[in-house]
Amino acid sequence: MKRRTGPVVIVGAGQAAAALARGLRENGFAGSIRMLGEEPQPPYERPPLSKQVLIEGRAPDALWLLGDDAQRAQGVTLSTSTRVTAIDRAAREVMTDAGEVIPYETLVLATGGTARGLPDLPVDGRRVFELRTLSDALSLHAALPGARRVLVIGGGWLGLEVAAAIRQQGLEVTLAEAAPRLCARSAPSEVSEYLLELHRGHGVDVRLGACVQPVLGEDGLTLPPDAQPYDLAVVAVGIAARDELAVAAGLPTADGVLTDCNGATADPDIFAIGDVARLCASAAGPGLRLESWRHAETQARLAAAAIVGEPRDYDEPAWFWSDQFGRLIQIAGLPDPDLELMDAEAGEKPVWRYGRNGAVAAVIGVDRARDVRMAQRALPTLASRMAAANGRAS
């Protein structure tokens, strides 16, 4: 991989973008860095949105990732409220909605994801909400004092955090999930069971296997056959990768921009990182798109190293956390469905270990930060896990 010294343009000004800019400077990159983000704010952390921000209704100082001082210190030129509308790969330029044409030597797509919606329940910011941005979190918080009954649609991590944050403010919360268990895509059944008990124990009315077809009528929002209306609903049914620029530019995509394990796309001048990237994609396997804070940081670090010509391996396991009702739930490694439960400790602070052929591959703990951290060191790195998965697939 060659050492790149010319202008880097980053599309998106979120967590991965901020980490990439920092990583480039830490790796001695001296060229210009231009960052273009469509939100009005500079980069910020999203995890607090469904926790502290939804509960307190304000952005804490720690939310901000690249304020004015950091922009100056890192030599980053940031344009907020600026959407990139097209990439011209032949000319190596991007176009913005303000009509600006910006040349690059290296382009990095860090465009994240967009909340999926429900066709019959359009988000209106009045009775129906979604939660992806700071303004989503603040407007949902502002609507809570006028509400008594809230419907959360989607029993994944985001839906559960939203349900917990709203329930903690004393409102009645119903959580409806179409699947027969919570977090079915990303957590084993023991963990789904734990989450169910946690939420029901705090008074959340969790409905599983529910055909979620809410009706928005004159008198409010109902979830038939239940006729009692809800004051507002939050739709949390997952995200779609914002890969539309890559699609239009003819780059290979599949719900995410396909990249190698360093974030390089099929075009050697274009990288993709964070929620939008499908990492380690190859002829041998479809790659992996993860939506996690740590993964966005690590991918940015790897792409920064690759851009300065010093590519490295993904040298740690995947890691994710969630906060619900004051419980810290951590997942280290990828708890794939074909892993076996090797051992478990029950009780107030449970832990589960999953593996294959006697080797632990994933650990999940509740308020067990130290144990998860210790176990994490022995888990396979994501590079070796992807190599094994691609080997099994080919």
Ligand X SMILES: Cc1cc2nc3c(=O)[nH]c(=O)nc-3n(C[C@H](O)[C@H](O)[C@H](O)COP(=O)(O)OP(=O)(O)OC[C@H]3O[C@@H](n4cnc5c(N)ncnc54)[C@H](O)[C@@H]3O)c2cc1C
Residues that bind ligand X (CB under 6 A): 11-17, 36-39, 46-47, 49-50, 83-84, 110-112, 131-132, 158, 242, 245, 274-276, 291-294, 296, 320-322
Residue (226 or 269) nearer to ligand X, CB: 269
Residue (7 or 220) nearer to ligand X, CB: 7
Write down the least CB distance from residue 394 to ligand X, Å.
28
Write down the least CB distance from residue 72 to ligand X, Å.
21
Cis ω before 225 (30° cut-off from 0): yes
Residue (125 or 309) nearer to ligand X, CB: 125
Residue (82 or 174) nearer to ligand X, CB: 82
Residue (294 or 356) nearer to ligand X, CB: 294
Of all residues in the shown chain, the one whose CB is closest to ligand X is 14
HEC per residue, the chain: CCCCCCCEEEECCCHHHHHHHHHHHHCCCCCCEEEECCCCCCCECCHHHHCHHHHHCCCCHHHECCCHHHHHHHCEEEECCCCEEEEECCCCEEEECCCCEEECCEEEECCCEEECCCCCCCCCCCCEECCCCHHHHHHHHHHHHHCCEEEEECCCHHHHHHHHHHHCCCCEEEEECCCCCCCCCCCCHHHHHHHHHHHHHCCCEEECCCCCCCEEECCEEEECCEEEEECEEEECCCEEECCHHHHHCCCCECCCEECCCCCECCCCCEEECHHHEEECCECCECCECCCCHHHHHHHHHHHHHHHCCCCCCCCCCCEEEEEECCEEEEEEECCCCCCEEEEEECCCCCEEEEEECCEEEEEEEECCHHHHHHHHCCCCCHHHHHHHHHHHHC
Q: The tokens of 144 are what? A: 């809570």
Distance CA 149, CA 144 (A): 9
**Mutual orientation of helices 15-26 and 293-307 as an angle, nearest 10°?**
40
Radius of gyration of the chain (CA): 22
End-to-end alpha carbon distance in the chain: 26
Residue (84 or 150) nearer to ligand X, CB: 84
Residue (16 or 206) nearer to ligand X, CB: 16
Write down the least CB distance from residue 299 to ligand X, Å.
8
Residue (332 or 361) nearer to ligand X, CB: 332
Write down the least CB distance from residue 310 to ligand X, Å.
22
Write down the least CB distance from residue 251 to ligand X, Å.
14
Write down the least CB distance from residue 362 to ligand X, Å.
15
Residue (110 or 261) nearer to ligand X, CB: 110
Residue (177 or 291) nearer to ligand X, CB: 291
Write down the least CB distance from residue 358 to ligand X, Å.
29
Write down the least CB distance from residue 359 to ligand X, Å.
24
Write down the least CB distance from residue 292 to ligand X, Å.
4
Write down the least CB distance from residue 48 to ligand X, Å.
8
